[in-house]
Structure 1
Amino acid sequence: MAESAAFKDASGKLLFTVFINASTYDCGWPVKRNVVESGDVPGLVSGGWSPVYHYALYAEEPAGGSGPGTICTLALVRAVPVDGPGMLRGLPEGGPMPAETWTGPYFIAVELGPDVEKCGSVADAKAWWASSEGQQIKAAVASLTAG
C-alpha cells in the first residue's frame, strides 16, 4: 500500500513529501551532478533495511546547457551518487540499472516540492541548503524513524 505525507510552509508552499512504497520520479535526462551534502538518517538504522538509508541533496545541471535549469534532488539513498555525469535524480550515466539487492519492510522516498527543487545553480543550491528553510528540511528528513 502506498502512502505519503506532504510538508508545507505557513503559506502553503509544498516543501517536501515523504512517500512509502511509491515515488513520482519517472524520467530523467543527462546531467552534471554536484553532491551538496549527504548524511545518516539515524532513525532508519533500526528499521531493518540493508543497506541502510542515507539522505543526499544534489544539484543537477542539464548536460549541454539545455533543459529546465539546475534541479535540486533530495533523496533517501542506499549509496550516495557520485559527482559528475549522470542522469537526473541520481541515476548513473547509463540511466536506470537493475536495483541492487536490499532488504527492508518497505520502500521509502523523499522528494522536494516543485517550487523548491528549482534551485537555479549549484551555488544557489548550497546557499538554500544552508538557509533556515533548507536546514529545517534537513532536520525533518534526518529525524525520520522506522515504524
Structure 2
Amino acid sequence: MDGRVANIPRGPITGEFVTFKDAKGRTLFTVDVGFSSYDYGWPVRRTVVESGAVPGLSQAGWTPPYQFAFYAEEPLSGPGTDTVCTLALVREVPPDGPGMLRGLPTGEPTTVPSSWTGPFLGVELSQVIEKCGDVAAARAWWASQEGQQFKAVLLSLRAS
C-alpha cells in the first residue's frame, strides 16, 4: 500500500487527506484530518464486526481516545439495498442494532461534547470496497489479508 498526503481547502478549513492505493493504483481508503465527505444517512441495522484501541492515537492525550471500528450496515430504507461496510476512527463505537448510516444514532444528530479534545479524524473506504454485500461477506473481507492490512495501517497511526 502506498499513501500520499494532500492538503485540500474546503471553504475556510484545510483538510488533510492520505489516500492509500494498491500496486495497481486502485484507491483502497482515505484517512481524513479535519473533514469528512459523509453528509447523508438513512436507517440501517448495524453489526459491529470488530473495534479496538489505536495505541498511537491513544498516547496523544485526546479525550476520549480514538478507537477503530469496522461495521456492516444493512439498509432498512433509503436509496440502496446493499449492505455498506464502514471502517471508522471513532471516539465511541456505535452500538449494534438500529441506527443511521455511518454509525450515527437514530433521531437527530448529536453535537460533539465540549469535553472532547483533539482533531476530527476519519477513514473512508473506497466505493468499491464499502459495498460489501451482506454481513457474512463483511466478516469474510475483514478477516481476509486485505482487511487485515487495512487494520494494520490504522493501528500504525501516530499522533504528532
Q: Is TM more than 0.5 here?
A: yes
Pick from 98, 110, 116 the counterpart of residue 97 of structure 1: 110
Change in CA separation of 1:133 and 1:25 when aligned onto 2, cut-off 3 Å: same
Unaligned runs of 5+ in 1: none
2 CA distance for matches of 1:37 and 1:8?
Answer: 23
TM-score by length of 2: 0.87
Letter of the 1:24 partner, please give it: S
Letter of the 1:6 partner, please give it: T
Letter of the 1:103 partner, please give it: T
What is residue 72 of structure 1 aligned with on the other side? 85
Unaligned runs of 5+ in 2: 1-13
Identical residues among aligned pairs (%): 61
1 CA distance for matches of 2:47 and 2:79?
Answer: 17
TM-score by length of 1: 0.94
Letter of the 1:27 partner, please give it: Y
Q: Which whole-Å deviations, capped at 9, do the CAs of 1:92-118 have from their partners, x for residues lacking one?
A: 0114212223011x2211111111100
What is residue 139 of structure 1 aligned with on the other side? 152
How many residue pairs get aligned? The number is 146
2 CA distance for matches of 1:57 and 1:29?
Answer: 18
**Equivalence map 1:96-115=2 (5 Å):** 96-101=109-114, 102-104=116-118, 106-115=119-128
Contact kept? 1:20, 1:107, Cα under 8 Å: yes
What is residue 18 of structure 1 aligned with on the other side? 31
Q: Give the deviation of 1:65 after TM superposition.
A: 8.8
Q: Which whole-Å deviations, capped at 9, do the CAs of 1:42-94 have from their partners, x for residues lacking one?
A: 00012231000000000000015972410001110011010000000000011
Contact kept? 1:87, 1:95, Cα under 8 Å: no
Contact kept? 2:42, 2:77, Cα under 8 Å: no
What is residue 84 of structure 1 aligned with on the other side? 97
What is residue 45 of structure 1 aligned with on the other side? 58
What is residue 7 of structure 1 aligned with on the other side? 20
Letter of the 1:62 partner, please give it: P
Letter of the 1:84 partner, please give it: G
Q: Any idea what SS the aligned residue of 2:123 has?
A: strand
Contact kept? 1:71, 1:117, Cα under 8 Å: yes
2 CA distance for matches of 1:137 and 1:125?
Answer: 13
